[in-house]
Amino acid sequence: MRSSTRCSRCTVNTPAGTACAKVGPVRHRTAVLLSGGDLLHSTPTGPARCSASPFPIESAKRRCGRRGVIDRQAKFEFEALSFDDVLLIPAESQVHPLAVQVATRATKHIGLRVPLLSAAMDTVSETALAIALAREGGLTILHKNQPIERQADMVRKVKRSEAGMIVDPITLPLTATYGDAEALMQEYRISGVPIIHPDGTLAGILTNRDTRFENDPNRPVTELMTSKDLVTVPVGTSLDQAVEQFKIHKIEKLLVVDDQFKLRGLITIKDITKKIEFPNASKDELGRLRVGAAVGVAADTDTRLEALIEAQVDAICVDTAHGHSQGVLDTVEKIRERYPDLELIAGNVATADGCHALIERGVDAVKVGMGPGSICTTRVVTGCGMPQITAIAECARVADEFDVPIIADGGIRYSGDIVKAIAAGASTVMVGSLFAGTTESPGERVLWEGRSYKVYRAMGSVGAMSEGSADRYFQEGQKKLVPEGIEGMVPHKGPLSDVVFQMVGGLRAGMGYTGCATVEDLRHQARFVRISSAGLIESHPHDVTITKEAPNYERR
């Protein structure tokens, strides 16, 4: 092998240690070249860090070998593991699975009754699923692959779907018609609307009872509404007091007014029954269902953010494929400066450095995952990524120091993967494919070979990117797209509540096996064992023909 020396900065064959014309004195580097001219490595003559290598090198981790040739083994940081590479070790347990506590944190200040978030994907997370998941105790991040006003309207619909008291009820003026009222009630899926005077005082209420046999859309609401003997309650009425009024008057809606008879709120019997039916629902301080929404780094981010905050969204997620990039970091920092009290999630990252960079800029939760999703091709298209268990553990190592929750995004195929993700350091998991097959997901339902499926696509697929998600993969404005995901379909699984029941049931069982009474116990106490390929085969059903499918298992 022949070698020669040159300065890797100015490419001039000059002895090391002499002045470099481009970067100043005593900055030449000695490089070892193969006979073909390929630069292997450069040895620093001054600073401890070797800056002449074509790769970024940390001197503490990668050191120059003899004759300046790089130790190629040092380029491999460590061996990384994913869900199928490990199992949790059973431990002595004094807790029953039904007695464990699965409550956790989605962000620093938002608690959840179950550790489940739905992914910000256009075939997963829209209004119906957001309402259903919040009722089960989880949180939805509404996708941004849509016009700004439509996304903000989804937030409003979720927030209005139920509440302890609706503090800003939808109203109509005295000049409205039955057609106006009918359109409004259908849009917001409500069964009644208060009618008010121009000064805000209450004039009456129009309900389904008043319009049951009406078919003239031009008829004024003043001829149909109930305006006499209105049942009202003062501001500050508790839910228990409201229940008594419902019992006495046999009505379904209570109008909340102030001392000037101006409408200040609305309490419905539906909200009270929902509270009893869904005791674990994720709600804000006003009793409304919680919902989050995604933004990106596109030109419309500021406008989208303002609309979502005006709609009273609970959390914002800066959703990108590579959260450890300068554009994302700048966006996060800008949002935090403008909205210091906003619950802010950002990602995705897969390393401790990436996690730390986001935390430094003020996020309330970090989303972890690069390429583990079932419809994601990032790892094979770009050659970049990190197996999910290792990514979670590396990020959690940093996040725990700052008390910032980790959201494990992607790769969840079975309920056992949820247990593993939390044991590795996550506080919650973000789910895509398992929710895409539910009745409430917005994906199109199709029949194939006699079985029902729902369409599911990656936000990095050609279809999704062409409709608005290209900025997530830093390809906004490109005429030709390089997709990092595919389009497909998943089996229809039925109501989301059934899927959540199985997922949480598996989590409870896993906590029982490991002797962990709480999610925090699972994060800190559980221990892993690495398994072989034979161990993975042994873990799944084998040497048998499955004759009846289980609701929580599907052969891959």
Can you tell me the distance from the alpha carbon of 24 to that of 45, in angstroms, rounded to the nearest whole number? Answer: 14
**Residue closest to 378 by CA, chosen among 350, 337, 403, 398:** 350
Q: Is 284 contained in some domain?
A: no
408 and 506 belong to one structural domain: yes
**Residue closest to 2 by CA, chosen among 66, 65, 75, 67:** 67
DSSP, res 377: -
Can you tell me the distance from the alpha carbon of 165 to that of 233, in angstroms, rounded to the nearest whole number? Answer: 12
CATH number at residue 185: 3.10.580.10
473 and 393 belong to one structural domain: yes
Sequence-ordered strand ranges (E) for 72-163: 86-88, 104-105, 111-112, 116-118, 139-142
Question: Which of 83-87, 401-405, 411-415, 551-555 is least confident?
Answer: 551-555
Q: Is 551 contained in some domain?
A: no
270 and 297 belong to one structural domain: no
Question: Which of 3-17, 103-117, 427-441 is least confident?
Answer: 3-17
Q: Is 285 exposed, middle or buried (0-12, 13-18, 19+ CB in 10 A)?
A: exposed
How confident is the model at residue 123, as a pLDDT?
94
Which residues lie below 8 Å from residue 545, measured CB to CB, with a gap of 6+? none
Mean pLDDT for 381-391 is 95
Q: Is 511 contained in some domain?
A: yes
Mean pLDDT for 354-361 is 98
- For 478-516, what is each residue's pLDDT tens digit? 666 787 888 999 999 999 999 999 999 999 999 999 999
Can you tell me the distance from the alpha carbon of 385 to that of 260, in angstroms, rounded to the nearest whole number? Answer: 62
Residue 71, by phi and psi: left (phi above 0), alpha (psi -120 to 50) or beta? beta
Tell me the two tokens of residue 144: 């941004």
312 and 333 belong to one structural domain: yes
In the listed set 277, 306, 333, which residue is the last one of a domain according to the structure?
Answer: 277
Its pTM stands at: 0.79
In the listed set 77, 101, 118, which residue is the last one of a domain according to the structure?
Answer: 77
Annotation says 384 is catalytic:
no
Overall domain count for the chain: 3
514 and 412 belong to one structural domain: yes
**Residue closest to 298 by CA, chosen among 128, 457, 107, 151:** 151
| Options 7, 50, 64, 376, the catalytic residue | 376
68 and 137 belong to one structural domain: no
Residue-level length of the chain: 556
322 and 358 belong to one structural domain: yes
| Options 62, 105, 288, 472, the catalytic residue | 472
How confident is the model at residue 25, as a pLDDT?
38
Residue 40's pLDDT band (boundaries 50, 70, 90)? very low
In the listed set 277, 301, 320, which residue is the last one of a domain according to the structure?
Answer: 277
45 and 99 belong to one structural domain: no
190 and 245 belong to one structural domain: yes
**Residue closest to 140 by CA, chosen among 515, 431, 493, 444:** 431
CATH number at residue 463: 3.20.20.70
DSSP code per residue over 483-541: -SB-EEEEE--B-HHHHHHHHHHHHHHHHHHHT-SBHHHHHHH--EEE--HHHHHHHS-
Q: Is 85 contained in some domain?
A: no
Mean pLDDT for 539-556 is 89
Report the number of secondary-structure helices (H) and strands (E) in the chain: 17, 23
How confident is the model at residue 11, as a pLDDT?
45
366 and 433 belong to one structural domain: yes
Q: Is 444 contained in some domain?
A: yes
- Over the Cα atoms of the chain, what is R_g? 29
Output the average pLDDT for the chain. 86
Question: Which of 82-91, 399-408, 460-469, 544-553 is least confident?
Answer: 460-469
Query: Hey, what amino acid is at 132?
Result: A
CA distance readout (Å), 531 to 53, 81, 332, 536: 37, 10, 39, 7
Which residues lie below 8 Å from residue 311, measured CB to CB, with a gap of 6+? 152, 153, 155, 156, 159
Q: Is 552 contained in some domain?
A: no
Can you tell me the distance from the alpha carbon of 508 to that of 518, in angstroms, rounded to the nearest whole number? Answer: 9
DSSP code per residue over 380-423: HHHS--B-HHHHHHHHHHHHHHHT--EEEES---SHHHHHHHHH
Can you tell me the distance from the alpha carbon of 130 to that of 239, in angstroms, rounded to the nearest whole number? Answer: 25
Mean pLDDT for 300-307 is 96
Residue 78, by phi and psi: left (phi above 0), alpha (psi -120 to 50) or beta? beta
- For 153-208, what is each residue's pLDDT tens digit? 999 999 988 877 788 889 999 999 999 999 999 888 888 899 999 999 999 999 98
Domain that residue 44 falls in: 1-77
50 and 180 belong to one structural domain: no
Q: Is 87 contained in some domain?
A: no
135 and 8 belong to one structural domain: no
**32 by DSSP, 3-state: which?**
strand
Q: Is 380 contained in some domain?
A: yes
Can you tell me the distance from the alpha carbon of 170 to that of 301, in angstroms, rounded to the nearest whole number? Answer: 28
Can you tell me the distance from the alpha carbon of 39 to that of 453, in angstroms, rounded to the nearest whole number? Answer: 53
DSSP code per residue over 228-269: SS--EEETT--HHHHHHHHHHHT-SEEEEE-TT-BEEEEEEH
Annotation says 376 is catalytic:
yes
Q: How many CA within 13 A on the CB side of residue 454?
A: 20
- For 238-277, what is each residue's pLDDT tens digit? 878 888 888 898 888 899 999 999 999 998 888 888 888 9
Can you tell me the distance from the alpha carbon of 465 to that of 144, in angstroms, rounded to the nearest whole number? Answer: 11
166 forms bridges with which residues in the sheet? 266
Can you tell me the distance from the alpha carbon of 59 to that of 44, in angstroms, rounded to the nearest whole number? Answer: 11
- Supply angle C-alpha 109, 112, 116, rounded to 5: 120
**Residue closest to 261 by CA, chosen among 206, 205, 201, 204:** 201
Residue 218's pLDDT band (boundaries 50, 70, 90)? very high
Question: Which of 3-17, 118-132, 453-467 is least confident?
Answer: 3-17
- For 310-356, what is each residue's pLDDT tens digit? 999 999 999 999 999 999 999 999 999 999 999 999 999 999 999 99
